[in-house]
Amino acid sequence: MENIYNYRLEELKEYFKNINEKEFKAIQVYEWLYKKRVKSFDEMTNIKKEVIEKLKQDFKIEPLKILKKQIDTDVCKYLFELEDKNKIEAVLMKHDYGNSLCVSTQVGCNMSCAFCESGRLKKVRNLSSYEMVLQILEVEEDLNIRISHVVLMGIGEPFDNYDNVMNFIDIINEPKGIDLGARHITVSTSGLVPKINEFAANPKQVNLAISLHAPNNEIRNKIMPINKAYPIEKLIESVKNYLNKTNRRVTFEYIMLKDINDKVENAIELSRLLKGINCYVNLIPYNETSHIEYKKSEKEQILKFYDTLKKNNINVTIRKEFGKKVSAACGQLRSNYEEEK
């Protein structure tokens, strides 16, 4: 039995057509789910009893279970338990432009980035679209807020779960549903070049972020194994292809790791690599964890790196630091929870 939150509106219309019911009932169900946020089919009072019974036979409507929640200034981190007892995280960040939710796309991750807590647990499975949708619904209900932006940067590599991720984007972008604008959705990838090329053909104006974290192959090979399959030259080529097809600016994420990738000469090299590309660089102060030896760059060094990029005409920002009092690193809350158990 499938969870109803897995269904796009068009698929639900097809379902009603197949059971000899009018297509508009799909719109009614969608509005009950996403506008009125009901928790059972019985609450859908404008749908006749026999159709409700049929929906109950064919679909589940279960929510995710909140196992743990950590709160700090402008941030709230959630640990969810899935039906099969696997655990994932989502992080709500309050910005001046609205509420942004960082969503997980997999249980575990196979990318094995050396600095990443999530990658310590290898991929167990992909998340279904509904398990991504429910992260949004649960957080909105728990905090009584509207989420205005979604970033797919939580546990997992979104492009390693491409079909479910694209289905999820269709569901949350649907005006009759959550109605989140495509330009308020960002997908982050560690550099799966074939999927970047596929994504470039998608007509939706969803944002693309590249987890770059190094200006050359030598450094990137050490900290991101994916680079051995798709080296920087191929990655940049796919980004240029994306820009040619979409004309949408790309974000390059760059975690600042002390004495690894944070020298001024690294910034100069990065400037050369990105010259002429319609992009901006997001410098991210590293969240240290007890399991990984990498350290956060000194504030002074981050500012030098920033200034060097600026002088070389690269658009650059330094990400606001969130969650000093919570398990801030991606995957850290889940990891800590498992250890406590």
Residues involved in catalysis: 89, 330
**Rounded to an integer, what is the distance from CA 72 to the centroid of its chain?**
21
The single-letter DSSP state of residue 296 is B
State the burial class of residue 45 (Cβ atoms within 10 Å of its Cβ: 0-12, 13-18, 19+): exposed
- Three-state secondary-structure class, residue 91: strand
DSSP letter for each residue of 11-42: HHHHHHHHTT--THHHHHHHHHHHTS--SSGG
Phi and psi at 273, nearest 5°, equal -60, -40
CA distance 174 to 157: 24
Closest by Cα among 214, 220, 189 to 305: 214
CA distance 336 to 333: 5
H or E element at residue 326: none
